[in-house]
Chains A and B, each alone.
Chain A
């Protein structure tokens, strides 16, 4: 079958799937000329994801939720107080420790659409940005989660969403997450992706989060798929006046991981801190495309993405900062730093700043290279073995990214993940 035929099949399958869409049929027009992104698409220039999807999946497998054998109860390493949500092969199977409904709603998206459409409709499908994988998710997603926090409510216990893939057969999962934080509310949300099995699977998740004024969102995502994951995670956060977002994305394993992470700063005096760390080995490809769009004045964004590439792995970073004409007094900082441990590992990095306002402070920087020889020698000259010295330098480099994670238990866990990965790296 030719690529064109495959794309044609995929388009037909999507049109058929869209009739049962959670997001509604409103976006059917995007399906008319649908195709997976070609290398000519600037946003996917360095990422061979379409080729790999076409090679490893039929159109049917790209859309249909993969079967799974059992649905065990999941516990969180965060302890028994955490609110635990489990998705298994894309099916919502568990929500435990739900707080009282007047404080917070945490329900399936279907239930939310039925009972609370006034809360869901303004967000679902409204925040996500145009992207071929969002189009697929719009049509194919059958399950999702909705979280709403009532005004002024600070949810003390973290919410742990665990996506488990049991890849016993080639297939896919498409899930949707909608978060609505009312004014002055706060949550800590941890999403973890993990998998077992040796069959390739394709996973998309579209996340839309609305942060009303003076709300605070702490968000951590761990992508630690040991299996053959092809994952695209599209996240859009919209911030209103004086809201704060602290986000951190850790990417380690999988075949191809693409994160489109976007923050729309639609309020004044907002703070957006978003970090990322990719610790890659083997042939993993991790691509982080980020956008922070300053649409209103007086806000601040800080972005720090770091990567360590081993073996034949590949990192891709693209960071866009937009400062719209009205967004005076914006402070926007971006930094992307990379260490390549082998000659066969690669990194493509591209900062992109588009600034239309004149009274702003913006900076960006990116570096790629090996470990600093001078620093290594300094540590060795004090009696530390070369291997231990490399470990110290890599750990110091990587752990900076998680410094801003405020929940102690999550930070400790991330720290352990980093140490464990580095101990296998050297």
Chain B
């Protein structure tokens, strides 16, 4: 599904990604771990098309096509979803209205007719249950005055509505208490199937107890320095990132 080769990227004059190789197949969950400043969020941003980041080398192939040619909205319409680390507050735009516009623009892109109000509401009710989110929250201005947990649940609600092929969860566990974490992870797990894939970007192993990855990659200084299975995450939790740092230094 996703094939990243020698990806290098910078913001301003600062080089952050130094040659990333990653291969994600349908049905898989990949965890990207690493210490602060290693480039985890940059990778998520580059995949979703954030303009501040300049790709200086490498390729990203998504379902056989060049992802880097596409604007952020085209990527979303083709099935990429980024759950934001810091969801943006937008006064005056309700989640419902926003999702209706987004969903219908995606449907238009796919050559489907727009959903009418009844069908949209039905779909929304179904997806609300998945993340245990209340309709009154969705009628309010997008994320405005939401708690950390409500914002992250809203992200997963949006993901459920848009049914992406590739979901990228950027530090979705940050700022969540254990109950919110469980709800968010449950939502993600229910959305998993053999046709979609998930990339979980996280600093801590905690989230991976709930969303169990097939592969774990350790990012350090803009490169994947180690890959393994879920046991690698446990090892990192036990030993900390210093172990990776010293090992890399030796190499």
Known: A380-B72, A382-B158. A396 touches B102 (CB 8 A): no
Is B37 part of the binding interface, using a Cβ–Cβ cutoff of 8 Å? no
How many residue pairs at the A-B interface have CB separations less than 8 Å? 74
Is A350 part of the binding interface, using a Cβ–Cβ cutoff of 8 Å? no
Is A32 part of the binding interface, using a Cβ–Cβ cutoff of 8 Å? no
Distance in Å from the Cβ of A177 to the closest Cβ of chain B? Answer: 33
Residues of B near A385 (CB, < 8 A) are 73, 105
Residues of A near B93 (CB, < 8 A) are 392-393, 396
CA distance A133 to B129 in the complex (A): 62
Distance in Å from the Cβ of A307 to the closest Cβ of chain B? Answer: 16
Chain B interface residue number, banded? 20 to 34
Q: Is the CB of A378 within 8 A of B101?
A: no
Residues 357-393 of A, flagged 1 when their CB comes within 8 A of B and 0 if not, give: 0000000000000001011011111111110110011
CA distance A375 to B91 in the complex (A): 10
Known: A392-B101, A393-B93, A396-B93. A386 touches B51 (CB 8 A): no
CA distance A396 to B92 in the complex (A): 5
Distance in Å from the Cβ of A346 to the closest Cβ of chain B? Answer: 25
Residues of A near B48 (CB, < 8 A) are 381
Residues of B near A377 (CB, < 8 A) are 50-51, 72, 88
Is B82 part of the binding interface, using a Cβ–Cβ cutoff of 8 Å? yes
Residues of B near A384 (CB, < 8 A) are 73, 76, 98, 101-102, 105
Of all chain A residues, the one with the shortest Cβ separation from B90 is A375
Is A76 part of the binding interface, using a Cβ–Cβ cutoff of 8 Å? no
Q: Is the CB of B90 within 8 A of A396?
A: yes
Q: Is the CB of A381 within 8 A of B105?
A: no
Residues of A near B98 (CB, < 8 A) are 379, 382, 384, 392
Residues of B near A375 (CB, < 8 A) are 88, 90
**CB < 8 Å: which of A383, A388, A389, A395 contacts B106?**
A383
Residues of B near A372 (CB, < 8 A) are 88
Residues of A near B215 (CB, < 8 A) are none
Is A226 part of the binding interface, using a Cβ–Cβ cutoff of 8 Å? no
**CB < 8 Å: which of A381, A388, A395, A396 contacts B76?**
A381
Residues of B near A333 (CB, < 8 A) are none
Residues of A near B27 (CB, < 8 A) are none
Known: A388-B101, A396-B92, A400-B92. A381 touches B49 (CB 8 A): yes
Is B217 part of the binding interface, using a Cβ–Cβ cutoff of 8 Å? no
Is B77 part of the binding interface, using a Cβ–Cβ cutoff of 8 Å? yes
Known: A383-B105, A392-B101. A378 touches B71 (CB 8 A): no
Of all chain A residues, the one with the shortest Cβ separation from B99 is A382
Residues of A near B84 (CB, < 8 A) are 378, 381
Of all chain A residues, the one with the shortest Cβ separation from B159 is A382
Residues of B near A381 (CB, < 8 A) are 48-49, 72-73, 75-76, 81-82, 84
Residues 56-98 of B, flagged 1 when their CB comes within 8 A of A and 0 if not, give: 0000000000000001110111000110100110111100001
Chain A interface residue number, banded? 20 to 34
Of all chain A residues, the one with the shortest Cβ separation from B103 is A383
Known: A377-B51, A377-B72. A382 touches B92 (CB 8 A): no
Q: Is the CB of B90 within 8 A of A388?
A: no
Q: Is the CB of B92 within 8 A of A397?
A: yes
Is A419 part of the binding interface, using a Cβ–Cβ cutoff of 8 Å? no
Is B109 part of the binding interface, using a Cβ–Cβ cutoff of 8 Å? yes
CA distance A151 to B134 in the complex (A): 47
Q: Is the CB of A396 within 8 A of B105?
A: no
Q: Is the CB of A383 within 8 A of B49?
A: no
Distance in Å from the Cβ of A367 to the closest Cβ of chain B? Answer: 12
Q: Is the CB of A382 within 8 A of B91?
A: no
Residues of B near A260 (CB, < 8 A) are none
Residues of A near B71 (CB, < 8 A) are 380, 386
User: Counting chain B CB atoms within 10 Å of each CB, which of A389, A395, A397 scores highest?
Assistant: A389
Q: Is the CB of B91 within 8 A of A380?
A: no
Q: Is the CB of B76 within 8 A of A400?
A: no
Of all chain B residues, the one with the shortest Cβ separation from A396 is B92
Distance in Å from the Cβ of B246 to the closest Cβ of chain A? Answer: 37
Distance in Å from the Cβ of A108 to the closest Cβ of chain B? Answer: 42
Distance in Å from the Cβ of A398 to the closest Cβ of chain B? Answer: 9
Is A399 part of the binding interface, using a Cβ–Cβ cutoff of 8 Å? yes
Q: Is the CB of A383 within 8 A of B88?
A: no
CA distance A265 to B71 in the complex (A): 53
Distance in Å from the Cβ of B152 to the closest Cβ of chain A? Answer: 14
CA distance A393 to B71 in the complex (A): 19
Q: Is the CB of B50 within 8 A of A383?
A: no
Is B162 part of the binding interface, using a Cβ–Cβ cutoff of 8 Å? yes
Distance in Å from the Cβ of A349 to the closest Cβ of chain B? Answer: 20
Of all chain A residues, the one with the shortest Cβ separation from B97 is A392
Distance in Å from the Cβ of A423 to the closest Cβ of chain B? Answer: 15
Task: Given A379-B98, A382-B102, output 19 extra A-B contacts at Cβ < 8 Å.
Answer: A375-B88, A377-B51, A378-B84, A381-B48, A381-B72, A382-B73, A382-B81, A382-B99, A383-B77, A383-B102, A383-B105, A383-B162, A384-B102, A385-B73, A388-B101, A388-B105, A389-B73, A396-B93, A397-B92
17 A-B pairs in the complex with CB atoms less than 8 angstroms apart? A377-B50, A377-B72, A378-B84, A378-B88, A379-B98, A380-B49, A381-B73, A381-B75, A381-B84, A382-B76, A382-B98, A382-B99, A383-B73, A383-B102, A386-B73, A396-B91, A396-B141
Give the A-binding residues of B (Cβ under 8 A).
48-51, 71-73, 75-77, 81-82, 84, 87-88, 90-93, 98-99, 101-103, 105-106, 109, 141, 158, 162
Closest 10 CB pairs of A and B: A396-B92, A383-B76, A382-B102, A380-B72, A378-B88, A383-B106, A380-B73, A383-B77, A396-B93, A383-B102
